[in-house]
Amino acid sequence: MPAPFTTPPADGLRFAFGTLTVLPVRVSRWDRPAARAGMQCAPLAGLVVGAVAAAVGLLLLLLGAGALLAAVATVAVPAALTRGLHLDGLADTADGLGSAKPAEDALRIMKQSDIGPFGVLALVLVLLAQVAALAEAYAGSWARGALAAVVSAVVARLALTLAARTGVPPARPEGLGAAVAGVVPVAGAVGVALAVTGAAAAGAAFLGAYGVLRAVLAVALAVAVAELLLRHCVRRFGGVTGDVFGGLAETAATAALVVMSLG
């Protein structure tokens, strides 16, 4: 298997930003090496998304808005910058997992344009949890709320990197899931995870020792929860799909926000 960055880093960044955000970045290569580099760069796309979300939240707080309104706006930014694709993936994944039908039928349900009751319930609960956690973090301190927004967005994309590791099969032969499934070497995925953990700890250093511990725990719990969901989806569907990637991102983001709201 080629090394992670035999592809020029610029191609990886274009792949990450072009597929994971609405930013006007043209993806020049769709081959497996570009996908490998792109999925390893996914947390960098999350860093930009999280920074924009935090900036919007802080601006509202500076203008006199309350923590709840700032939290709502902060949660809305990642949804807008991804065209709601991750939230849509979460809803479709919930509908597929909630179905008692065979895997092929569950995958067919996930491809439908409508959202079933399990999807609606998942969306409502996840968005409520994200807003509540961010409001609590902003109420604790503006800095903690802003850091929570950034960490959650980065960890959401880290979950995608880990889900694209070697050994995780695609559930369908087509689609985004098939394009990125298994492209990241396990060592590369672990390296990205360690880098994100270190960056989260460094970013939280100004909040003191407990702040650093909280940030590290946020990354660890988010990765653990996303891994549990990933394994369940692989057992249920036979692999991953684009919807599963979206569900993993939102699940990881929510877990990280909950931890960042504590204390």
Q: How many domains does the chain have?
A: 1
17 found inside a domain? no
CA atoms of 242 and 253, how far apart (whole Å): 17
4 found inside a domain? no
- pTM of the predicted model, to two decimals? 0.94
Beta-ladder partners of 230: none
21 found inside a domain? no
8 found inside a domain? no
pLDDT tops 90 at residue 29: no
Q: How many CB atoms within 10 Å of residue 232?
A: 13
State pLDDT tens for residues 112-127.
Answer: 888 999 999 999 999 9
CA atoms of 90 and 123, how far apart (whole Å): 7
Task: Please give the average per-residue pLDDT across 226-254, as a whole number.
Answer: 97
pLDDT of residue 2: 41
CA atoms of 131 and 32, how far apart (whole Å): 36
Per DSSP, the three-state class of 240 is strand
pLDDT of residue 157: 98
pLDDT of residue 136: 97
Domain that holds residue 58: 42-260
Higher pLDDT, 223 or 100: 223
* CA dist list (Å): 113 to 92, 110, 180: 9, 8, 23
Q: How many CB atoms within 10 Å of residue 89?
A: 25
Task: Please give the average per-residue pLDDT across 180-207, as a whole number.
Answer: 96
Quick one: pLDDT band at residue 95, thresholds 50, 70, 90?
very high
104 found inside a domain? yes
pLDDT tops 50 at residue 1: no
pLDDT tops 80 at residue 3: no
88 found inside a domain? yes
pLDDT tops 50 at residue 22: yes
pLDDT tops 60 at residue 16: yes
138 found inside a domain? yes
Quick one: pLDDT band at residue 6, thresholds 50, 70, 90?
low
33 found inside a domain? no
Return mean pLDDT, the chain.
94
Best CA proximity match to 91, nearest among 79, 103, 101: 79
